[in-house]
Chain A
Amino acid sequence: MLNEIVMDIKDVSHSFGKGPKRNRVLHNINLKIREGQIVSVVGPSGCGKSVLLRAILGTHPPEQGQIVVYSGLQNEIANLRLKPDRNIGIVYQRYSLFPFLTAIENVAFGLMLDQTGILGRLFHPWKWRKMRKGHFAQAAELLEKLKLKEAMHRYPSQLSGGMCQRVAIAQALIMKPRILLLDEPFGALDEATRAELQDLVLRLYIENTSARQKKQKPPYTIMIVTHELNEAIRVGDRVIGLSMYWNWRQEIQSFPGTTIVYDKSAPVFLPEEPVDYSKLQEQKDEIAKAVFDPAYCQDRDEFRKFWVEQQINTTTIL
């Protein structure tokens, strides 16, 4: 059976410092992400969203537990996240692009790094030039799809914030990563540009849906970290809530760290579809209570119903 799980986070806990200054950040995070899902991660400031993201990326591997990324092949050996590699793409809020490359060069950069080496480029210049043409053609096609044809030959400093983020998404997508991480990607943008980029992510969701209808693998799996609840619900088809407000006192003596307290599917409002604000508000209120309300310290399984809602036993999809 083919592996439908793209990423499996198993019992991940993390803390900083030692002794009395030890700061517990993450506690017993367990999360399976299936191919084609667009998962929004929300949580209060300082709850450890970025720590989890860095652990997934591989720059700061977790103290305990494992994060595994599957390539989707049969009988594969899982790829343990110990350092960043091309299985995972990332788009940051800032520093998303290489300032010394134009938009098209930024997008083609990954293809160059992935398919050639320094020595190959140096000693086989003709072959490299031919390949480079192909890389630029692919990058141009993708940029055109993202409505950036006019901006192809501009440097990041000559682009608007929204254009930069679109180029950054193209740069990550061209590598066909197993999972794309978006770290508050639209946080620094104005409302209109933010909506435009949310639509861009939703168009990727549409491509996933049509691939599923054709019995093909959905091409895009995305995890988006955001502090905007509307964005989390509108863009994601699944919302994960990380919070330090949960009834840890029943289990443990001292605060063990943030954990997942919310995991449910979310309604997806496609770009041309009208948004059902009542549905959106209902879930927003639920997340606000479960994730952001210090007074509401619930059993951490109370809102973790995603797989139950989907009527899927997680052990059977592996």
Chain B
Amino acid sequence: MIGPSLKPVPRIMIMAASVMIIILGYTYLAHKQHIKNPKDKTIPTWVQLKEGVEKIFEKNKRSGERWIVVDAQASARRLFLGLLWGIAGAVAVGLAIGCFPVMEAVFAPSLAILAKLPPTAALALFFVMLGTGTSMFVGIIVVGILPVLAQSIYLAIKDVPRELIDKATTLGASRPELVWNVIVFHVLPQIINAIRLQIGPALVYLIAAEYATAHIGFGYRLRLQARLVNMDVVYPYLAILIIFGFLMDGVLKYAMNRLCRWYEYEGR
């Protein structure tokens, strides 16, 4: 960055001001829209939004369920499984192709092709191959994040200085030790950063798939409520997704601070 970094107090004040501008801008737009049409639902007022939130948390009289609980449970399960398999697969494939030339020759071309495939465009393919159950949502997330994540890990491994590998060998490291004790530890910050960057795309793939096929979940609810122009429900759902994204990012940042303290000291 050019110039000195900001001190904490002015930095926080500027950040708060930027959020305030968005809130005030929204308030002004909603107000203006409601002067034109008092029953408008496209830009709900804060009071309408409050009612929308109440609707989300309200117990359904027939089923006895709350929208937020059933949707969160379904989406979280799909996202968790998708991320789990996607990250585990990417780490395994990334390490294999980064460390072993034979694996590089086997997997690198197919990964390069898969990385160019937009999973949302291939939704039909997922329906046919995986049906419309949980495995379809998990599959779309895995296919969406695995190639990019694996390629990030592969490139990070390529950047490990050759000297460190040779040095570890002179210290008696075996092949598995080179992978685990040198390479994994060296690229762990890049792996965590790459996962952080893939949380957003994973959510996009999940919501897109739920939008198209689900009977429950965040994407389903958003599609349903958007059709009815119930933006008082849509906006809180979007806000929940944003908060969820921040939480995930926070957890990964915390993991980075705990596991890769050295990376912070390097000023990266």
Cβ contact within 8 Å between A90 and B166: yes
CB 8 Å contact bits of B156-198 with A (1 = contact, 0 = none): 0000011110111111111011001110011010000000000
Q: How far is the CB of A94 from chain B (nearest CB, A)?
A: 7
Cβ contact within 8 Å between A118 and B177: yes
CB of A99 within 8 Å of the partner chain: yes
Q: Which of B164, B177, B261, B262 has the most CB of A within 10 A?
A: B262
Cβ contact within 8 Å between A100 and B185: yes
CB of A281 within 8 Å of the partner chain: no
| Separation of A239 and B142 alpha carbons in the complex (Å) | 60
| Separation of A171 and B168 alpha carbons in the complex (Å) | 10
State which of A86, A156, A158 has its C-beta within 8 Å of the C-beta of B171.
A86
What number of A residues sit within 8 Å (CB to CB) of B?
A: 31
Cβ contact within 8 Å between B164 and A57: no
Cβ contact within 8 Å between A95 and B186: no
B170 proximity list for chain A (CB < 8 A): 57, 84-86, 88-90, 172, 175, 177
CB of B260 within 8 Å of the partner chain: yes
State which of A95, A110, A118 has its C-beta within 8 Å of the C-beta of B180.
A118
A57 proximity list for chain B (CB < 8 A): 166, 170
Q: Which of A95, A114, A175 has the most CB of B within 10 A?
A: A95
Cβ contact within 8 Å between A99 and B262: yes
Cβ contact within 8 Å between B169 and A99: no
CB of A113 within 8 Å of the partner chain: yes
A221 proximity list for chain B (CB < 8 A): none
B186 proximity list for chain A (CB < 8 A): 98-100
Cβ contact within 8 Å between A114 and B172: yes
Cβ contact within 8 Å between B169 and A96: no
State which of A96, A117, A156, A157 has its C-beta within 8 Å of the C-beta of B167.
A96
Q: How far is the CB of A91 from chain B (nearest CB, A)?
A: 9
Q: Which of A99, A156, A175 has the most CB of B within 10 A?
A: A99
Q: How far is the CB of B21 from chain A (nearest CB, A)?
A: 38
Known A100-B262, A118-B180; contact A86-B172, beta-carbon cutoff 8 A: yes
Known A95-B163, A118-B176, A118-B180; contact A113-B262, beta-carbon cutoff 8 A: no
Closest to A154 in B: B265
| Separation of A306 and B180 alpha carbons in the complex (Å) | 45
A248 proximity list for chain B (CB < 8 A): none
Known A86-B171, A110-B171, A113-B172; contact A98-B182, beta-carbon cutoff 8 A: yes
Q: How far is the CB of B177 from chain A (nearest CB, A)?
A: 6
CB 8 Å contact bits of A65-100 with B (1 = contact, 0 = none): 000000000000000000111101110101110111
CB 8 Å contact bits of A135-168 with B (1 = contact, 0 = none): 0000000000000000000011110000000000
Cβ contact within 8 Å between B167 and A90: yes
| Separation of A98 and B262 alpha carbons in the complex (Å) | 10
Cβ contact within 8 Å between B163 and A92: yes
| Separation of A158 and B186 alpha carbons in the complex (Å) | 17
| Separation of A118 and B176 alpha carbons in the complex (Å) | 8
| Separation of A310 and B266 alpha carbons in the complex (Å) | 49
State which of B162, B169, B265 has its C-beta within 8 Å of the C-beta of A85.
B169
| Separation of A168 and B231 alpha carbons in the complex (Å) | 62
CB of A262 within 8 Å of the partner chain: no
Q: How far is the CB of B240 from chain A (nearest CB, A)?
A: 37
| Separation of A156 and B186 alpha carbons in the complex (Å) | 13
Cβ contact within 8 Å between A157 and B262: yes
Please report which residues of chain A, range 150-205, place their CB below 8 angstroms from some CB of chain B when the two chains form the complex.
155-158, 171-172, 175, 177
Q: How far is the CB of A313 from chain B (nearest CB, A)?
A: 32
CB of A109 within 8 Å of the partner chain: yes
Q: How far is the CB of A80 from chain B (nearest CB, A)?
A: 16
| Separation of A158 and B261 alpha carbons in the complex (Å) | 12
A177 proximity list for chain B (CB < 8 A): 170
Q: How far is the CB of A194 from chain B (nearest CB, A)?
A: 20
Known A86-B172, A95-B161; contact A100-B180, beta-carbon cutoff 8 A: no
Q: How far is the CB of B120 from chain A (nearest CB, A)?
A: 37
Cβ contact within 8 Å between A113 and B163: no
CB of A59 within 8 Å of the partner chain: yes
B176 proximity list for chain A (CB < 8 A): 118
Q: Which of A110, A113, A158, A172 has the most CB of B within 10 A?
A: A113
Apart from A59-B162, A99-B266, A155-B261, what 11 extra A-B contacts exist at CB < 8 Å? A59-B166, A84-B170, A92-B163, A94-B161, A95-B163, A96-B163, A96-B167, A109-B168, A110-B172, A113-B173, A158-B265
Q: List 24 A-B contacts (CB under 8 A).
A: A57-B170, A59-B162, A59-B166, A84-B166, A84-B170, A85-B170, A89-B170, A94-B163, A95-B167, A98-B185, A98-B186, A99-B262, A100-B186, A100-B188, A100-B263, A109-B181, A113-B173, A113-B177, A117-B174, A118-B174, A118-B180, A155-B262, A158-B265, A177-B170
Task: Sort A-B residue pairs by CB-CB distance and give the 9 closest, nearest first.
Answer: A110-B171, A114-B172, A84-B169, A95-B163, A95-B161, A157-B266, A113-B172, A155-B262, A86-B172
